Amino acid sequence: MCSMRADGVDAIVGQWQRERPDLEELIPMSVYGRIYRIAAAMGDQMEKAYAPFGIGRGEFDVLATLRRSGEPFTLSPKQLSETLMLTTGGMTGRLDKLEKAGLLERSPDPTDRRGLRVQLTPAGRKVIDDAVAAGLAIQRAALERLDPADVERLNDLLRELLAASKG
């Protein structure tokens, strides 16, 4: 055990050890308990970082996907839905909100008369560029407590864990 002080996850694991000693190795419970808690805490902080820009995490994801797609920052609603793993209904609601705010626009697809294209507006590009910088600052600050080599190692370990969790 490391010299760090105990946290809430240690308390939960300790209770399971007391109540179910037959479970033996509980490190997986500790690892995933911390991953879930970190994700929730950082998600809340990211939500606060995006609020001044008039967007939440869902809207951020749409704008960021368009921005990352490169010039001309245009995708179909289907491409957005697939990338974000959203239903078409969920995507429509986000697109409606962002279009109303002037952050993106929908137009007919010139290559498919039944299709639409979603494009980031200049205002949307400014919002996402500012929001991603604000969010990154929060993420960077959270990691500053760790040695840079440990951050790189953590990143590598999480990449391996993610790959292993996909089967």
pLDDT given at position 2: 55
Phi, psi of 103 (to 5 degrees): -95, -15
pLDDT of residue 1: 47
- Decide: 125 and 73 in contact? Cβ < 8 Å: yes
pLDDT tens profile 38-93: 999 999 999 999 999 999 999 999 999 999 999 999 999 989 998 998 888 888 89
Domain-wise residue ranges, the chain: 56-165
Q: In sequence order, what are the residues at sequence separation of 6 or more whose Cβ sits closer than 8 angstroms to the Cβ of residue 3? A: none
Quick one: pLDDT at residue 167?
A: 67
Three-state SS for 135?
Answer: helix
C-alpha to C-alpha distance for 97 and 137, rounded to whole angstroms: 26
* pLDDT value, residue 88: 81
7, 35, 102, 25: which is closest to 63 by C-alpha? 102
Predicted confidence (pLDDT) per residue in 124-143, tens digit: 999 999 999 999 999 999 99
Quick one: tokens of 94? 């986000």
Q: What is the structure's pLDDT at 5?
A: 86
Above 70 in pLDDT, residue 94? yes
Cis peptide bond upstream of 148, omega within 30:
no
Sorting pLDDT into bands at 50, 70 and 90, what band is 3?
low
Residues 26-32: what's their mean pLDDT? 94
- Supply the CATH classification number for the domain 56-165: 1.10.10.10
